[in-house]
Chains A and B, each alone.
Chain A
Amino acid sequence: MIQLSANHVLYLVEAARWTILLSLIAFVGGALVGLPLALMRVARSRLLRGLASAYIQLIQGTPLLIVLFLSYFGLGIVGFKLDPLVAAGLSLTIYAAAFLAEIWRGCIEAVPKTQWEASDCLGLNAFQQYAYVILPQAVRIATPPTVGFMVQIVKNTSLASVIGFVELARAGQIVNNSTFEPFAIFAIVGAIYFAICYPLSLASRHLERKAHAGRS
């Protein structure tokens, strides 16, 4: 049997780069889709609100794993064979967009109503209202929960291992298959995830405290 060695640990740390890359893809993709969705959720048109809300309910009521299987195996059999990285990136984008949209909707709604009224009175149009008055304030409210949600994204990239994409969790399984020391290996894998996620959690909490410094 092969002994667990420093090389294995190095291999795991290198695989973590893919975890980080996948997290970035998911976050950027999720933000690009999530922001329009959040704006649709607070739109005046009932149709736009309904569509966005249907999407969010659908995704938040389905496990990410099933979305992943649908886009990898499902689309594959229908004739669109996706690369594991693309399938994982796509699924995580779909997932992150739904959650980010809901978080950001809350933040847009948290901007005091008087700000809308004041900008109306100043004769700003809808675009100007969002761009110069509402969104800059919403961003400040949104930063702590968004950073907090990044932790969820990083953790959920571990599911990409299921479709054979070699990121941190899959690398752990591969090392385990040759060394048979699951406890030690998955503890190390867990520690690497912790090393990525904990700073994000701390940052989120710090930002939260800073944002509420005026209150309490």
Chain B
Amino acid sequence: MSYKFDFAFLADKWPDFVAGAWLTVELTVASIALGFVLGTVCALARVYGGPVLRRLVGIYVETIRNTPLLIQIFIVYFGLSSLGLKLSAEVSAIVALTVNMGAYTTEIMRAGIQSIQRTQLEAADCLGLTRLQTILHVVLLPAMERVYPALSSQFVLLMLASSITSQISAEELTATANLVQSDTYRSFEVYMIVAVVYLALSALYRLALWAIGLVLFERRRRLGTPL
């Protein structure tokens, strides 16, 4: 093998990689936040809703979890625009990633909510908490604490999956890599760099999620142990 590695293109191209990585962060933080809210609402509906609502949420979750993200992105970007709803690549990416994230969050949060014992709800009732207070303080926060590890890994997986949005020309990290490699013909080097950037991003996301966990869950902070 006589191939010589050459990273010289980095001298002019590094701002492109930074911009791409930044868009990846923007896209994924937006869709993680929106998807988490969507998923939590759906999980509440799944556990406490009426039969019709429960069924609808079930259909949503199963449809999304059993079809590839690539196809979901195509339906949002190409499909909706052919029906007259034209969204930019970035907005389509956020919509598709949010809908995807929402389905996985629903399943994870449902497990958490179902692990809250009935007696907790009865105790909250006895203490005279309102319905909203009960849901927030007695159901959601402890439920989230229990499933937080699963939730965090799902968030990191979504960040990695966001690379698929390069296929609808959202100019995030992977799309940047595709552009740079077609400019420089240095595909091996380019994709190696991008792999390293993704590794660094996943480490960063894990760190950030760990810190958020410490802030959110007092018990974990004080005792150093998960619930």
Contacts and interface: CB of A to CB of B under 8 A. Distances in A.
B223 to A, nearest CB: 24
Interface residues of A, number: 42
B191 interface: yes
B199 A65 contact: no
Nearest to A69: B191
Nearest to B2: A79
A69 B187 contact: yes
Contacts of B177: 66, 69
A65 B166 contact: yes
A118 interface: no
B75 interface: yes
Contacts of B198: 61-63, 66
Q: What is the predominant secondary structure among interface residues of chain A facing chain B?
A: helix
Most chain A beta-carbon neighbours within 10 Å: one of B74, B78, B185, B192: B74
A141 to B, nearest CB: 18
A60 B160 CA distance: 9
Given A69-B187, A79-B1, A194-B66, A172 B195 contact: no
Interface string A184-210: 001101100110011001000000000
Contacts of B178: 69
B66 A201 contact: yes
B150 interface: no
B88 interface: no
B174 A63 contact: yes
A190 B191 contact: no
Given A63-B161, A63-B198, A158 B71 contact: yes
A80 B163 CA distance: 25
Contacts of B185: 77
Interface of A: 58, 60-67, 69-70, 73-79, 151, 155-156, 158-159, 161-162, 169, 172-173, 176, 180-183, 186-187, 189-190, 193-194, 197-198, 201
